């Protein structure tokens, strides 16, 4: 009998994961476990109060709060945070927030060698990747490195309850995008593919409940479990067309990260449908549909009440030719080569919110 398993490479993550309701209570113990004594707690301005509560709960291990994290990790914010970190004489970084907050902790860890504990409050997945995207003078550069990966991640569902329903849905689709691309990437492997399928299914079944009942602990737990799995896919294998297009749109047009991923995913999958039929079948099965994943996700966006076109989130129409050009520059590997004419059709359809076709 012929084996169905092709040769593959696989490398597991070195992060320690704590998953479960209320586990933020173990933060002080985890700080101690790392041999640290003074925490530098990081949040965005909007989550300052959450940070202050956790800082106070840490008692003598709580050092200082920095509430200046913003989207795309601008290096000028990192420089300000470095000064505050040095003045506070802290020896461990604690990020409580979404990808923006975790990005700042990663940038600080890269420059100081301090350990990080991430407490994610969205579904973006940055906490389990050794990837950092930083912006200097409006240009975003991405790098990888072992020192970027947080040592500890605490997934506590209670931290996600305050994430607004629409943001939760967009963030969940951002996570699903990591898993979809992991299924057709060049370095796909059986372990990551299992995580991808399980992650897509957990998010697909929980997001419809979350938008109606954002306080539903079961649905929130499933979504967070899915986000961990999908984030692990992002951290383990390379991504393809979808992440390239979203990187171009986010970096050059400052479009909101999660919503851009949510809107673009049906179009990216439609582009790749004929080149990756096996992956599409697994994505469809995980989503619980007999339709093409692109068609199903296009409908899901509408059911979840999300913005449905690039125009709706502020993409300028005259930016479309430039977006095509940038997508073709340093393009990622993709199961179907990236070509100007079909890419332009893809962007035009996404701009208008038209039903995705084969392009």
Quick one: residue 20, left, alpha or beta (phi over 0 = left, psi -120 to 50 = alpha)?
Answer: left
- Of 24, 78, 121, 185, which one interacts with ligand NAD (CB under 6 A)? 121
Degrees to nearest 5, angle at CA 160 with 26 and 117: 40
Tokens of 58: 């840490």
Q: How far is the CB of 294 from ligand NAD (least distance, A)?
A: 22
Q: Which residue is nearest to ligand NAD (CB)?
A: 99
- Return the residue of 72, 111, 344, 345 that touches ligand NAD, per CB under 6 A: 72
User: Is there binding between residue 15 and ligand NAD (CB under 6 A)?
Assistant: no
Whichever of 61 and 120 has its CB closer to ligand NAD, that residue is 120
Residue closer to ligand NAD, measured from CB, 171 or 334: 171
Q: Exactly one of 115, 125, 266, 356 binds ligand NAD (CB under 6 A); which one?
A: 125
Q: Return all residues near 130 (Cβ < 8 A) that are at least 6 apart.
A: 144, 145, 146, 148, 149, 235
Least separation in angstroms between CB 67 and ligand NAD: 10
Question: Residue 56: which residues within 8 A CB-CB, separation 6 or more?
Answer: 62
Q: How far apart are CA 135 and CA 26, in angstroms?
A: 33
Q: Does 103 bind ligand NAD (CB under 6 A)?
A: yes
Span interacting with ligand NAD, options 28-36, 120-128, 282-290, 342-350, rule CB under 6 A: 120-128
Cβ at position 96, least distance to ligand NAD in Å = 9
Which one of residues 257, 270, 292, 315 is an interface residue with ligand NAD (CB under 6 A)? 257
Rounded-to-integer distance, Cα 80 and Cα 204, Å: 39
Q: Tell me if 219 contacts ligand NAD by CB under 6 A.
A: no
Q: Which helix (H) or strand (E) holds 299?
A: helix 293-303
251 scored as a contact of ligand NAD (CB under 6 A): no
Question: In 3D, which of 70, 299, 272, 71 has the Cα closest to residue 188?
Answer: 272
Q: How many CB atoms lie within 10 A of CB 337?
A: 11
Applying CB under 6 A, does 307 fall inside the site for ligand NAD?
no
Decide: is 150 part of the binding site for ligand NAD (CB under 6 A).
Answer: no
Cβ neighbours of residue 330 closer than 8 Å, sequence gap 6 or more: none
40: β partners: 64, 93
Helices (H), 89-154: 99-112
CA dist., res. 253 & res. 346, Å (int): 17
71 binds ligand NAD (CB under 6 A): yes
From residue 197, give the alpha-carbon distance in Å to each of 127, 202, 280, 283, 344: 20, 9, 11, 7, 30
Which residues partner with 155 through β-bridges? 19
Q: State in angstroms the smallest separation of the CB of 234 from ligand NAD.
A: 6
Minimum gap (Å) between residue 71 Cβ and ligand NAD: 5
Other CB atoms within a 10 A radius of the CB of residue 126 amount to 27
The region of 155-163, 185-193, 288-296, 345-353 touching ligand NAD under the rule CB under 6 A is 155-163
Binding mask 271-290 for ligand NAD (x = CB under 6 A): --------------------
Size of the site for ligand NAD (CB under 6 A): 29
Using the rule CB under 6 A, give the single segment among 4-12, 53-61, 96-104, 333-341 that binds ligand NAD.
96-104
* Residues 45-64 close enough to bind ligand NAD by CB under 6 A: 46-47
Q: Is 171 in the site for ligand NAD (CB under 6 A)?
A: yes
User: Residue 226 interacts with ligand NAD (CB under 6 A)?
Assistant: no
**Interface with ligand NAD, residue 334, by CB under 6 A:** no
Q: How many CB atoms lie within 10 A of CB 340?
A: 12
Per CB under 6 A, does 99 bind ligand NAD? yes
Which residues form the interface with ligand NAD (CB under 6 A)?
44, 46-47, 71-72, 97-101, 103, 121-122, 124-126, 129, 131-133, 159-160, 162-163, 167, 171, 234, 257-258
């Amino acid at each position: 009998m012929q084996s169905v398993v092709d040769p593959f490479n696989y490398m597991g993550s070195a992060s320690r994961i704590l998953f479960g309701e209320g586990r933020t209570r173990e933060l002080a113990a985890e700080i101690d476990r790392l041999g640290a004594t003074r925490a530098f707690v990081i949040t965005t301005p909007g989550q300052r109060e959450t940070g202050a509560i956790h800082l106070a709960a840490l008692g003598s291990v709580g050092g200082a709060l920095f509430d200046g994290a913003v989207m795309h990790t601008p290096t000028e914010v990192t420089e300000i945070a470095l000064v505050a970190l040095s003045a506070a004489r802290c020896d461990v970084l604690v990020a409580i927030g979404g990808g923006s907050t975790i990005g700042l902790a990663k940038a600080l860890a890269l420059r100081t060698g301090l350990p990080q504990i991430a407490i994610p409050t969205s579904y973006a997945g940055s906490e389990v990747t050794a990837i950092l995207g930083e912006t200097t003078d409006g240009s975003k550069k991405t790098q990888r490195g072992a020192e970027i990966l947080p040592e500890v991640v605490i997934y506590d569902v209670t931290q996600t309850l305050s994430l607004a329903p629409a943001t939760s849905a967009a963030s969940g689709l951002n996570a699903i995008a990591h898993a979809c691309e992991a299924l057709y990437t060049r370095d796909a492997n059986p372990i990551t593919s299992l995580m991808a399928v399980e992650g897509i299914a957990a998010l697909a079944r929980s997001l419809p409940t979350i938008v109606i009942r954002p306080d539903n602990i079961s649905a929130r737990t499933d979504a967070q479990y899915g986000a961990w799995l999908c984030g692990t896919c992002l951290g383990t294998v390379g991504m393809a067309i979808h992440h390239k297009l979203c990187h171009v749109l986010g970096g050059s047009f400052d479009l909101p990260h999660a919503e851009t991923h949510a809107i673009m995913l049906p179009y990216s999958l439609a582009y790749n449908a004929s080149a990756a039929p096996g992956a599409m079948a697994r994505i469809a099965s995980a989503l619980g549909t007999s339709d093409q994943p692109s068609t199903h996700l296009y409908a899901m966006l509408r059911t979840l009440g999300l913005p449905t076109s690039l125009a709706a989130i502020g993409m300028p129409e005259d930016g479309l030719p430039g977006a095509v050009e940038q997508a073709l520059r340093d393009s990622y590997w993709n199961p179907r080569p990236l070509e100007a004419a079909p890419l332009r059709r893809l962007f035009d359809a996404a701009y208008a919110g038209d039903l995705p076709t084969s392009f």
